[in-house]
A and B are shown apart, each in its own frame.
Chain A
Amino acid sequence: MKRTLLIIGGVGIICILAGVWAYFLFFGTPNPDGGVFANFNLGNTDDPSVIIPVEPVPTEPVVDVTSPERLRQLTTQPVAGFAEVQLSTTSAPLARYIEAGTGHIYSIDLETGVEQRISATTIPLTNAGAMTPNGQYALLQSGSGIGSEHVIGIISTTSDELRNFAIPGTITSFAATNDNTFVYTAPAGNGLVARAYDPSTNTVAELFRIPFRDATIAWGHTEAGPHYVYPHTTSRLEGYVYSYTNGVATREPASGYGLSAVGSGAGYIYSEVQDGEYNTYATNKRTNETNAAPLTIIPEKCVFTQSDTTVAVCGISLAEYPYQMPDPWYKGEARMNDSLWEYSIGSQSTSLLVSPENATGRQLDIVQPQFGINDANLYFQNKVDQTLWIYEYNPITNLN
């Protein structure tokens, strides 16, 4: 009997507790002035100490290719190659690019900003490419190293299908020329052979031979050149500059550690490590003079204009360059915050064109600068994300 009373009492207490719990669960609102029950001191939205999660702001700006700004971002996706093309002598220039990874080719009308995919043929792992200025052919590199493959694509005007065929053998470097051909190097013996491939006639012509393998080629605008060649750059080994014009090699009077170069028919810009400092020089072939450049430049960030071959436009960072340059930049360990500068090797003068950081709020590490038709537009990529950018270098020419 006694045990029964105890059980009834216990069940009763449990029921009361359950009822209280249920009441607070469904109806109970903690009184701010009331007891501490259910108040875990988490604060409320008025409490300035509370960290309120902020919605992430998109880091990629919206691309507006028709913006009145002279410096504009053309793509948000990584780009493998690009060119300004003109389909006929009367048509307006178009910006075209090859999407990295897929090999899809897009065309941007620079006047309307309309973007159109003109090739939907997927070439996986596309990481480099070039297109002829007439807009008819593309050369794409798929993969890297021994497994890389190079494909010639014929761009159709009636469909988004890219007729393509692979180029046999290994290609170490390539570019498109103003002659609507592709120039490239392939291993040959202990060195390299440079060839020109004309896709319209499907013919190959040998241009010149390079007597070593680890060569960087700064291709000229035409098959004839001049093409500047130097051993791959490192601050720990000496390099030398050779130019090839119409197949004839010339040893240029430039050598040193950390040496790289870019040039035109009128001269060339080169940088090297001297006495523990990374310095830039310019050689004017017309006057046979070499001068120290007013600013330190990584030559790979420069391109000479075609209208005045003594003038180059370069991405330049006004920062201290370590003596190991350019190795850390190649490795991706050093990033640049470049501005676009115009540099005349004739007058040894420089002038600032635009600071991307001031103009867009973004820091750009400029690579692959390339002029469009009549030097009206300058195209380049940001090394960090491989996006494509345009700068209206000569708007007056653009209007003509």
Chain B
Amino acid sequence: MYKLWKARITWLFVAMILLLYGYMRLRVLLIALVILFPSAAAVTAQFDASQFGQTPQISITLNPNNPSPGELVTASLDDYSGGVYGSEITWFYDGQVISGATNQRQIQFVAGDAGTDTAVEATLSLPTGGTQTLQEIISPVYMDIIIEPQTRVPDWYAGRALPSLGSQINATVLLNDGSFIDPQSVVYTWRVNNKVIEGGPIRAGNRVAFPTPRGGAVTVSVTATTPAGETIASRVINVGIVLPELSFYEKHTLYGMKSSPITANTPLIGSILTLQAEPFFLDTRVYNNPDLAEWEINRVRTDNGSSNPYEITLRSSGGNNSTNVNFHVRSLQQISQGSEESITINF
């Protein structure tokens, strides 16, 4: 032991002398350190290729990684070792040889039904003899992102509301692997325009609400993982943003609103007409409490004489006449939350 330490000190001394005189290069210093401290060599020997993010030398990669049922999937052989060179490649899907795929490095297939596990295998018959089998399991899961914008559409309208700037969007993710997956067992990470919302991943957070940002569309992405971090499914969707649209409908005392909007060509019967302005896709908060809701008749601001700001009753003064009716609804805090439209009524 004494001799060993003596040798180390000697080498250290020599190394310092060389360093001081400027003859020492970095490589030599490292060699010296390795010799002096053998434990350091052991540390370097522990570096493993996988610690640098390298996967096994040959593998199958799937695109998309977590396919939906019935989705077209591309499986590729990734070979970082050159081991595939000269090998005969045979592909199997669900245990059956895929005809016409022999020696292909890439194949395509349709993912199976939800709740099924299907193996995709590639068998390499090596030129040196022997075989190597690679496998990936496909477990397709439906990931449905349901967007429910909180904007105004009339009750009789069978379509869905659309988001307008500043309005709230409710979004719900439904995972289905043959039956609905309990959200309690899933961790969800939501991103809106590539920004994580809700402060990060949230368990059982399959439903979120967020304001509609500026722009023509908003990108919503969701990643669902198990509590252990394994990805179950991931999706990105684009949601178009619209401006509120105003239409006028005739409202009958008994029957309610007619199903078609009034246009300049709409024949009107009778001398009294109740008009309902319908601001499609206006933020429901603005609709319920508008800062501005004004009617104009022949360019003169008019009190609509009703507790419903979206309704006005017109009376013909007799004979054939046409009347210009204008309605304007708007939030004064969020200027884009509003709409103005005119219509000519021919009695």
Residue positions of A touching B, CB distance < 8 A = 78, 100-102, 124-125, 127, 143-145, 148, 190, 211-214, 216, 231-234, 236-238, 240, 248-249, 251, 253, 255, 300, 326-327, 330-333, 335, 383-384, 386
Q: A148-B155, A238-B145, A255-B144 are in contact. Are A127 and B255 (CB under 8 A)?
A: yes
**B324 on interface, CB distance cutoff 8 Å:** no
> What residues of chain B lie closer than 8 Å to A144, measured between beta carbons?
154-156, 256
State in angstroms the CA–CA spacing of A253 and B158 once bound together: 23
Question: CB distance B174 to A211 under 8 Å?
Answer: yes
Question: CB distance B261 to A233 under 8 Å?
Answer: no
Q: A253-B70, A332-B260, A383-B259 are in contact. Are A124 and B146 (CB under 8 A)?
A: no
**B114 on interface, CB distance cutoff 8 Å:** yes
Q: A232-B158, A253-B70 are in contact. Are A237 and B254 (CB under 8 A)?
A: no
State in angstroms the CA–CA spacing of A249 and B154 once bound together: 29
State in angstroms the CA–CA spacing of A124 and B253 once bound together: 9
Residue in B closest to A233 when the chains form the complex, CB atoms: B159
B239-266 interface bits toward A, Cβ cutoff 8 Å, 1 = contact, 0 = none: 1101000010100111110111100000
> What residues of chain B lie closer than 8 Å to A335, measured between beta carbons?
260
> What residues of chain B lie closer than 8 Å to A331, measured between beta carbons?
157, 159, 247, 261, 280
Closest chain-B Cβ to A223's Cβ sits at a distance in Å of 21
State in angstroms the CA–CA spacing of A144 and B259 once bound together: 14
Closest chain-B Cβ to A55's Cβ sits at a distance in Å of 16
Instruction: State which size class the interface on B falls in.
Output: 35 or more
Cross-interface CB contact of A240 among B144, B156, B179, cutoff 8 Å: B144
Closest chain-A Cβ to B29's Cβ sits at a distance in Å of 62
Question: CB distance A333 to B142 under 8 Å?
Answer: no
> What residues of chain B lie closer than 8 Å to A211, measured between beta carbons?
172, 174, 180
State in angstroms the CA–CA spacing of A330 and B260 once bound together: 9
Question: CB distance A330 to B157 under 8 Å?
Answer: yes
**B135 on interface, CB distance cutoff 8 Å:** no
Question: CB distance B259 to A384 under 8 Å?
Answer: yes
Q: Give residues 249-293 of B contacting A (CB, 8 Å).
A: 249, 252-256, 258-261, 280
Question: CB distance A212 to B158 under 8 Å?
Answer: no
Q: A144-B156, A237-B147, A331-B261 are in contact. Are A214 and B70 (CB under 8 A)?
A: no
> What residues of chain B lie closer than 8 Å to A326, measured between beta carbons?
159
Question: CB distance A124 to B180 under 8 Å?
Answer: no
Closest chain-A Cβ to B53's Cβ sits at a distance in Å of 35
Residue in A closest to B242 when the chains form the complex, CB atoms: A236
**B237 on interface, CB distance cutoff 8 Å:** yes
Main secondary structure of the interface of B (DSSP, over half): strand
> What residues of chain A lie closer than 8 Å to B157, measured between beta carbons?
330-331
Q: A144-B256, A330-B157 are in contact. Are A238 and B237 (CB under 8 A)?
A: yes
Residue in B closest to A211 when the chains form the complex, CB atoms: B174
Question: CB distance B142 to A251 under 8 Å?
Answer: yes
State in angstroms the CA–CA spacing of A333 and B170 once bound together: 28
**23 A-B residue pairings within 8 Å (CB atoms):** A78-B255, A127-B255, A144-B156, A144-B256, A190-B172, A211-B174, A211-B180, A212-B148, A212-B172, A213-B148, A214-B146, A214-B148, A214-B161, A231-B160, A236-B162, A237-B160, A326-B159, A331-B157, A331-B280, A332-B259, A333-B260, A335-B260, A384-B259
B169-182 interface bits toward A, Cβ cutoff 8 Å, 1 = contact, 0 = none: 01010101001100
Question: CB distance B252 to A101 under 8 Å?
Answer: yes
Question: CB distance A124 to B254 under 8 Å?
Answer: yes
Q: Give residues 133-157 of B contacting A (CB, 8 Å).
A: 142, 144-148, 154-157
Q: A253-B69, A331-B157, A333-B261 are in contact. Are A240 and B146 (CB under 8 A)?
A: yes
> What residues of chain B lie closer than 8 Å to A212, measured between beta carbons?
146, 148, 172, 174
Residue in A closest to B148 when the chains form the complex, CB atoms: A214
> What residues of chain B lie closer than 8 Å to A236, measured between beta carbons?
162, 240, 242
State in angstroms the CA–CA spacing of A326 and B145 once bound together: 21
Closest chain-A Cβ to B212's Cβ sits at a distance in Å of 13
State in angstroms the CA–CA spacing of A253 and B111 once bound together: 12
State in angstroms the CA–CA spacing of A338 and B160 once bound together: 24
Question: CB distance A127 to B144 under 8 Å?
Answer: no
Cross-interface CB contact of B159 among A78, A232, A238, cutoff 8 Å: A232
State in angstroms the CA–CA spacing of A21 and B145 once bound together: 88
**B328 on interface, CB distance cutoff 8 Å:** no
Question: CB distance A237 to B158 under 8 Å?
Answer: no
State in angstroms the CA–CA spacing of A326 and B247 once bound together: 17
Question: CB distance A127 to B256 under 8 Å?
Answer: yes
> What residues of chain A lie closer than 8 Å to B114, measured between beta carbons?
251
State in angstroms the CA–CA spacing of A150 and B130 once bound together: 75
Residue in A closest to B278 when the chains form the complex, CB atoms: A331
**B207 on interface, CB distance cutoff 8 Å:** yes
Q: Beyond A101-B252, A234-B162, A327-B159, list 7 extra A-B contacts (CB 8 Å).
A: A100-B254, A212-B148, A232-B160, A233-B160, A249-B180, A330-B157, A331-B261
